[in-house]
Structure 1
Amino acid sequence: MTKKMRFAIVGAGVISPLHARAILGHPEAELTAIVDEIPEKANALAKEFGSPPTFATLEQMLNEGEVDAVCVCVPSGLHRDVTVASARAGKHVLCEKPLGITAKDMDEMIETCHTNGVKLATVFQKRTTEAALLTKKVVDEGKLGRLVMGDAYLKYFRSREYYKSAGWRGTWALDGGGALMNQGVHGVDIIRWLMGDVESVFAYASPLIHDIEVEDTAVAVIKYVSGAYGVIQGATTVNPGQEARFEIHGEHGSIIYGDSGFKVWKTLDGDTVPGSEPGGTAEGTDDPHAISADGHYILVDDLIRAVRDNREPLISGEEARKSVDLILAIYESARTGREVRLNAGGVKP
């Protein structure tokens, strides 16, 4: 690898500028390629971010581009194809959420990266916020005592125009799901990360408002392996959209926080809310463009460090798949009307 890690962005859609800003803002990274099958989109992104070379196909970029790592910014149903091809070409991968949309896809992505000796990292930028990190520290240190409840409220709004803006949105084949798999997966990742693995789920999920294949509203009751219970609510039908909210309750205290900061902080150490900066406004609840690039910068930096130190990324493929496994279990429960049990490898047969 050269002094700077050379990144390609594959997919010049809504999320790609966040990757471009993070890369250009990092002193040890450079943007050396952009790929999109629509040349106008690739050229527009390149013009805005330093005019790197553009390519119409992934194959051409992998053959001709000077690249060490690939940012996967294509629709979710194509994550597997781009990741596997990039790994086989010896490129490290930073994949947007969700890692994949089926267990088979994720198995192949993880295995191919391992086999080819490249790193597979995933973008879950909500894990990098101060509120999330402080909460995780308190939970891991046992300062809430035994956890009894862990809830995630992920009530977003997306317009009908949003779903019509791209043919893949709201489809099983390319979106992999709706309010949970696309918008809510960040919050599903957070609550599972804070509370631990899930034993079983019972759920309802349907398209209540939008004319789409997948759910725009979902509610799931969760039983964690620890014995704690919880609720996950996800929607793109709540108008106006609400900030994501996480509630962690234990026998000795509770922490409740949202995108704008802590609402409740009570631990064995006392009742004082830590002097953290608010997380900002309710990012992306109504507008998918209204998302900060700060978390992407942290994850770009982490991938660079993981490669140079030969360690696993902060959010590896194995770690990232857990939120998708949980969402797939929620979908199965909603489809069958039954409780669905999970294990370390996903849904139990």
Structure 2
Amino acid sequence: MHKVKVGMISFAHLHAVSYLQALALRPDVELVGIADENRERVEPFIQQYQLPYFADYRELLAGDADVVIISSENSKHAQMTIEAAQHKKHVLCEKPLGLSREEMRRMIEACEENGVQLMTSFPNRYIPMVIAAKEAIDRGEIGRVVAVKATNKGEMIGGWFNDRTLSGGGALIDHTVHVMDLLNWILRSRAVEVYAESGSLFHGIDIDDAGMVHVKYENGTIVALDASWSRTHAFPYKRDLTMEIIGTEGVISIDYFAQINEVFSEATGHAEWSYWGDNKDEMLIDDFIHCIKEGKPVSITGEDGYNSTVIALAAYEAIRLKKPVSL
């Protein structure tokens, strides 16, 4: 069996852990190492999976990996992706793809020029209820979609997420891109106008932890999204993803984290939710590796990453200008 050789670059973003776990389950994958300038952060995984460690990701790129998975701070995505492409490595890059239109275009072009694939990490596309909703809309079951009310709220992770130079922004960029990718995909239309407001309402930090984003699509659909770090530590689950998709002939409601058991824990001193639904990260990895092995185009491209991020960038521009921004 031909094994796909996969290297992991940075564990700054939490997805890296679940991706590593998913890769380790696959007999057709060989993990060739973890690169992270912070050895302490990755030491448990080096030990558990007996993997080579690289302090400098360029050493990993110089090796024989077929694929690299980049889960670094947002500001490093572009440089790492471009260098990986120059080393002829396929790339799965964490969202948001980049922090400016220019750097995202350079990432996409570098991968095209070097004949490698660039996939953006949007695991929410693999949620069965999201897929079922898209299929129902494609069949015309709720008529024409006129509006969507969505939430993608979470807790504040802190660390580099609160450092604008590394993250590019706060809750708004962190959470807008996920939902906008889903809507770009489901609506098959282009966002044409964005208005947003943000503030620091929950944590007393110097970065947006609350954001409301309004988007108008070319096909007339209007979207309102709450993208905030509004969940406190005591809340039973760290994040949510809901969408109410309103059509001329019906409504579809999605609540991804409804698949839970309620756990009342003496140890933690508060209620918790134990999620039992499908593992979307594992499904994303399965699809990515399948596409690489079969030489098929990846399902969620660099262009998809670009198209969702430009909405978040436009939201910040609208906040700065205090008026709607055309895309």
TM range (shorter): 0.7 to 0.9
Q: For residues 176 and 292 of structure 1, what CA distance do their matches in structure 2 show?
A: 31
Contact 2:177 2:311 in 1 (8 A): no
Report the secondary structure of 1:174's partner residue. Answer: helix
Comparing 115-124 with 242-251, which one deviates more in the overlay? 242-251
8 Å Cα contact 2:172/2:198 also seen in 1: no
Residue 211 (structure 1) shift: 4.2
Partner SS for 2:167:
coil
2:211 is the alignment partner of 1:226: no
Change in Cα spacing, 1:225 to 1:238, as seen in structure 2 (3 Å) is same
Q: State whether residues 120 and 317 of structure 1, in contact with CA within 8 Å, keep that contact through their aligned partners in structure 2.
A: yes
Give, in whole Å, the separation in 1 of the partners of 2:281 and 2:306. 19
What are the residue-to-residue correspondences of 1:303-322 with 2, within 5 Å? 303-322=288-307
Aligned-partner Cα distance in 2 for 1:141–1:121: 27
State the superposition RMSD in angstroms: 2.4
Cα offsets for 1:204-240 (capped at 9, x unmatched)? 1122233444311111222111112121111102444
1:171 equivalent in alignment to 2:163: yes
Aligned residues: 311
2:286 is the alignment partner of 1:301:
yes
Q: TM-score, normalised by structure 2?
A: 0.88
**Which structure 2 residues correspond to residues 43-192 of structure 1 after superposition, within 5 A?**
43-48=43-48, 50-63=49-62, 65-158=63-156, 162-163=157-158, 166=159, 168-192=160-184
Letter in 1 for 2:32: T
1:197 to 181, 190, 204: 190
Once the two structures are overlaid, the 10-residue window that deviates more, 309-318 or 109-118, is 309-318
1:307–1:69 CA distance, 2 compared to 1 (3 A): same
Partners of 2:3 and 2:72 in 1: CA distance: 24
Q: Residues 88-118 of structure 1: CA distance to partner in whole angstroms, max 9, x if unpaired? A: 0010001111111211111011000000000
Q: Give the C-alpha shift of residue 293 in structure 1.
A: 8.8
Structure 1 partner of 2:268: none
Once the two structures are TM-superposed, the CA of residue 178 in structure 1 deviates from its matched residue by 1.2
Consecutive unaligned residues of structure 1, counting only runs of 5 or more, are 262-277, 343-349
Q: Which residue of 2 aligns with 1:8?
A: 7
State the 1:316 CA deviation. Answer: 0.6
Equivalent position amino acid for 1:84 in 2:
I
Aligned-partner SS, 1:169:
helix
TM-superposed deviation, 1:184: 4.2
Deviation at 1:4, TM superposition (A): 0.8
Q: SS where residue 260 of structure 1 aligns?
A: helix
| Corresponding letter in the other structure for 1:126 | N
Most deviating of 237-246 and 7-16: 237-246
Q: Structure 1: how far apart are the matches of 2:179 and 2:85?
A: 28
Show the 5 A alignment for 1:260-299: 260-261=257-258, 278=259, 280=260, 294-299=279-284
8 Å CA contact 1:202–1:334 kept in 2: the answer is yes
Q: Is the CA contact 2:75–2:165 (under 8 Å) kept in the aligned structure 1? A: yes
Is contact 2:93–2:118 with CA below 8 Å preserved after alignment? yes
In the TM superposition, 1:332-343 aligns within 5 A as 332-342=317-327
Query: Which segment drifts farther, 206-215 or 115-124?
Result: 206-215
Cα contact 1:151–1:191 (8 A) shared by 2: no
Cα distance in 1 for residues equivalent to 2:64 and 2:45: 18
Alignment match of 1:330 (pick from 304, 315, 324): 315
Counterpart in the other structure of 1:264: none
Kept in 2: contact 1:219–1:231 (CA 8 A): yes
In 1, Cα distance between equivalents of 2:302 and 2:276: 23
Distance 1:242 1:42 in 2: 24
TM-score where L is the length of structure 1 = 0.83
Identity %: 29
| Structure 2 unaligned blocks of 5 or more | 263-271
> What amino acid is aligned across from residue 191 of structure 2 in structure 1?
V
Query: Could you tell which deviates more after superposition, 189-198 or 76-85?
Result: 189-198
Aligned pair in 2 of structure 1 residues 41, 112: CA closer, same or farther (>3 Å)? same
Q: 1:245 touches 1:259 (CA, 8 Å); kept in 2? A: yes
Q: State the SS of the aligned residue for 2:50.
A: coil
The change in CA–CA distance for 1:98 and 1:35 in structure 2 (over 3 A counts) is same
